[in-house]
Amino acid sequence: MRIDWIEDLVALLDSGGVADAARLRNVTQPAFSRRIKVLEEVLGIELIDRSVKPSGPSTVLRDRDAELRKLATEQRLLLSDMRQEQSTGLRQLVIASQHAITTSLGTQIIKSVAEPSRTHIRLRSANRDECETLLIRRQAAISLTYRIKSEPAAELASFLIEAVIGEETLIPVCGSAHAGDLMARFNDGALRIIGYPADVFLGAAVTRHILPALDGRCSVSVVTETGLSTAAMQLSQSGLGVAWVPKALAQPDLSRGDLTNLEGDLGWIGMDIVAQRWAQTTNSATLDAWTRLTLSH
């Protein structure tokens, strides 16, 4: 689908009507209406609901609102990258990185890949499944995700290659000022924790590998949930409960004494940091970044 078509549809969704959408697209209303009519004929889809006055986006168009906006954003980023590469001479490279990896190691990753090569890095932070999807769809050249050491690796697709580029430990932490109280409660059979949603990687990891070991030792109560390890760490520091976070993320606060590592009492999880890319690629920026990432381990 042409880029201007996508932008027309997003303008229609933004404005809710043809007249306002035309103004957003800086064309006359008749001209915009003709463009939408042509698009309807090409796609065989009703994009305007003409049964109501004033007419607006059809149900099928509204149902695809989020997908169309995402597509428009990706197209804008692609064009921006191409223009930047042409004007600066810098190669463009997209790396999809799991949220916690981006937060704890993002600076290190970019420095290892970008210096001294002339490469502009876009680090896209996402959930583990989203990182894999971005790679499969070739919207990212390389993905960086965690893998639990004690779990068997899933079968790798034949068109991908991977390398372990680092190690990480998921450790339980809490604010040092509150550690004594939390551990006293634990010894009395009660543990307050900051949880992750079960459908995110860290949530599944804690559920499978930490909670079963605590069962029988204490009653676990989830004070609150968050999908972000940075938020979990901040909540634990306030004394709300214990949170399992990547050690690299917590290290500055551990070194300052603001956080206490409770892995000896509550258990930890060993993880690998895994890089993946398409096996068949001739893109020099991708190959150069891959070499730097894998040699740094």
Q: Tokens in use for 92?
A: 């463009």
56 to 1, 88, 236, 239: CA distances (angstroms)? 21, 42, 48, 51
CB 123 within 8 Å of CB 110? yes
* Amino acid 260: pLDDT: 97
> Taking residues 162-166, what's their average pLDDT?
94
The pLDDT value recorded for residue 88 is 54
Least confident of 69-78, 113-122, 199-208, 209-218: 113-122
Q: What is the mean pLDDT of residues 212-233?
A: 93
Q: Which residues contact 120 (CB under 8 A, 6 or more apart)?
A: 81, 84, 85, 88, 90, 91, 92, 93, 114
Q: How far apart are CA 52 and CA 24, in angstroms?
A: 22
Q: State pLDDT tens for residues 54-87.
A: 788 999 899 988 888 888 887 777 676 666 655 5
Domain 3-69 class, CATH top level: mainly alpha
Average pLDDT over residues 218-229: 94
Residue 93 pLDDT more than 80?
Answer: yes
- What confidence score (pLDDT) does residue 282 get? 83
* pLDDT for 109: 83
Model pLDDT, residue 81: 63
Q: What percent of the chain has pLDDT over 90?
A: 51
Greatest CA separation for the chain: 74
| Residues with Cβ within 8 Å of residue 218, at least 6 apart in sequence | 186, 189, 190, 191
Helix H or strand E segment including 169? strand 160-175
Write down the pLDDT at residue 237.
95
Residue 160 has pLDDT above 90, yes or no: yes
DSSP 282: -
* CATH level 3 topology of 168-271: D-Maltodextrin-Binding Protein; domain 2 (3.40.190)
Is it the case that residue 114 has pLDDT exceeding 80? Answer: no
Among 107, 112, 96, 116, which residue's Cα sits nearest to residue 274?
96
Torsions phi, psi for 183 (to 5 deg): -75, -30
Alpha helices in 47-198 (DSSP H): 59-62, 65-88, 99-114, 128-136, 179-187
**Band of the pLDDT at 1, cuts 50, 70, 90?**
low
pLDDT digits (tens, 9 = 90+) for 263-275: 999 999 999 999 9
Q: Where in the chain is the domain with CATH 3.40.190.10?
A: 86-162+275-295, 168-271
* Residue 229: predicted pLDDT: 93
Q: What percent of the chain has pLDDT over 70?
A: 93
pLDDT of residue 205: 95
Label residue 170 by pLDDT band (50, 70, 90). very high
pLDDT band at 117 (very low <50, low <70, confident <90, very high): low
Listed range (83-97, 116-130, 199-213, 268-282) with the worst mean pLDDT = 83-97
> Which candidate, 292, 82, 270, places its Cα nearest to that of 168?
270
At the fourth CATH level, the homologous superfamily of domain 86-162+275-295 is Periplasmic binding protein-like II (3.40.190.10)
Domain with CATH 1.10.10.10 in the chain: 3-69
CA distance 140 to 131: 8
225 dihedral zone (left: phi>0; alpha: psi -120 to 50; beta): beta
195 Cβ contact partners less than 8 Å away, ≥ 6 residues apart: 203, 206, 222, 223, 224, 225, 226
Residue-averaged pLDDT of the chain: 89
> Does the structure show a pLDDT above 90 at 115?
no
Residue 90 pLDDT class (50, 70, 90 cuts) = low
Q: Give mean pLDDT, residues 171-175.
A: 97
| Integer angstrom CA distances of residue 245 from 58, 137, 269 | 45, 30, 10
